[in-house]
Chains A and B, each alone.
Chain A
């Protein structure tokens, strides 16, 4: 699961008060905004570029993390590792790569690939469909 944890107050630091009755007063948005993600993962179902739009038959789990000012968007199962200067750039790069690999494996016949490439071809061709 996404490791989402609250920023804990130190022991004996004043407690944040929440009142179940008054939802607005109980937790300020700032409390919720301060949720910290040690790993942020998002599901992506549709991948699109200017020329093609493909839909997966199950959500693709994409993990996101930022390092040295760069954002990385990865999907190990599809062997896609994208990056960008912002999250939207990284996601855009991820879309392009998935589309690229889908087109690439679509052009290869089964006897042209072996090992991991054969697995990937099978995944791309059996789990994705072109969508209008």
Chain B
């Protein structure tokens, strides 16, 4: 079966969050003049969500979040970071990227001292609901993932939580694969997800290079997105792709 092209929007998409983030060397002006940026975008992002003091975390590194009136899109800013996220239904990468590039341009105009970028990340968080009955988690129905453990320990797993941090030519890919649930069942020596179980597939494609520039942001983001999407497409089974496309009984 044809692998989905990277622009295809699946009607049964498991995406619950799309996030991209640009990190740059700390810029005091971003911290001191937040209003300058907000004034430029407040018509579209009228709601301010402020960070709460978290033990051991520097306030300046925590994001102020500016949210659209429909609560779908959020712009987040901190001393060293600009991020953008969207909750479902996902409008598609063209519109998402267009908006983030627009915001980044305004951001850079507001803080002309910004030039260098440390890190660019594009993250897809997918939640894949399943029902396992009394059996093991049916991972192979959805994903082409295999962990070589003795005596089928992976295939018979009731739950798992794994995180892979992999090097690429230009940065890192962080992939998290876990079973999550709406509730948690807890016994004396065990805590595990329960109720409305789902497979969490979280793919975070990161570009980290010395010579990243704000002015080249769009092409870097395109690359990060495309590579993250390719990982997703390579991971899902053909039958699950049919389901995502709405080709179901």
* A14 near B129: Cβ-Cβ < 8 Å: no
Q: Is B63 an interface residue (CB 8 A)?
A: yes
Stretch touching chain A among B29-37, B95-103, B119-127: B119-127
* B49 near A17: Cβ-Cβ < 8 Å: no
* A59 near B243: Cβ-Cβ < 8 Å: yes
- Which residues of chain B come closer than 8 Å to A75, judged between CB atoms? 249
Q: Mark A78-100, 1 if CB is under 8 A from B, else 0.
A: 10000000011001100000000
- Which residues of chain A come closer than 8 Å to B105, judged between CB atoms? none
Question: With A and B bound together, what is the CA distance between A62 and B16 in angstroms?
Answer: 20
**Number of cross-chain contacts by CB at 8 Å:** 143
Q: Mark B3-38, 1 if CB is under 8 A from A, else 0.
A: 000000011111011010101000000000000000
Which B201-249 residues have a C-beta within 8 angstroms of A?
202, 204, 206, 239-240, 242-243, 247-249
Stretch touching chain A among B109-117, B147-155, B181-189: B181-189
**Nearest chain A residue, comparing its CB with the CB of B176:** A23
Q: Is B200 an interface residue (CB 8 A)?
A: yes
Q: Is A9 an interface residue (CB 8 A)?
A: yes
* B88 near A17: Cβ-Cβ < 8 Å: no
* A37 near B130: Cβ-Cβ < 8 Å: no
Give the residue among B163, B178, B195, B243 with the most A Cβ atoms within 10 A.
B243
* A1 near B13: Cβ-Cβ < 8 Å: yes
- Which residues of chain A come closer than 8 Å to B121, judged between CB atoms? 20-21
* A45 near B141: Cβ-Cβ < 8 Å: yes
Q: Is B131 an interface residue (CB 8 A)?
A: yes
Q: Is B158 an interface residue (CB 8 A)?
A: no
Shortest CB–CB separation between residue B210 and chain A, in angstroms?
17
* B174 near A23: Cβ-Cβ < 8 Å: yes
Q: Is B167 an interface residue (CB 8 A)?
A: no
Q: Please report the total number of A residues contacting B with Cβ < 8 Å.
A: 50
* A127 near B249: Cβ-Cβ < 8 Å: yes
Q: With A6-B16, A45-B141, A92-B133 known to touch, is A33 a contact of B52 (CB < 8 Å)?
A: no
Which A36-52 residues have a C-beta within 8 angstroms of B?
36-37, 40-45
- Which residues of chain B come closer than 8 Å to A12, judged between CB atoms? 47-50
* B83 near A20: Cβ-Cβ < 8 Å: yes
Which B43-83 residues have a C-beta within 8 angstroms of A?
47-52, 54, 57, 61-65, 71, 76, 83
- Which residues of chain A come closer than 8 Å to B119, judged between CB atoms? 20-21
Q: With A8-B71, A41-B12 known to touch, is A15 a contact of B193 (CB < 8 Å)?
A: no
- Chain A residues proximal to chain B, CB less than 8 Å: 1-6, 8-9, 11-15, 17-21, 23-24, 29, 32-37, 40-45, 56, 58-62, 64, 73, 75, 77-78, 87-88, 91-92, 123, 127
- Chain B residues proximal to chain A, CB less than 8 Å: 10-14, 16-17, 19, 21, 23, 47-52, 54, 57, 61-65, 71, 76, 83, 87-89, 119, 121, 123, 127, 129-134, 141-142, 163, 174, 176, 178, 180-184, 193, 195-196, 198, 200, 202, 204, 206, 239-240, 242-243, 247-249
Sample (10) of A-B pairs whose CB atoms are under 8 Å apart: A2-B14, A12-B49, A20-B23, A24-B163, A32-B180, A34-B182, A37-B129, A64-B131, A77-B249, A91-B131
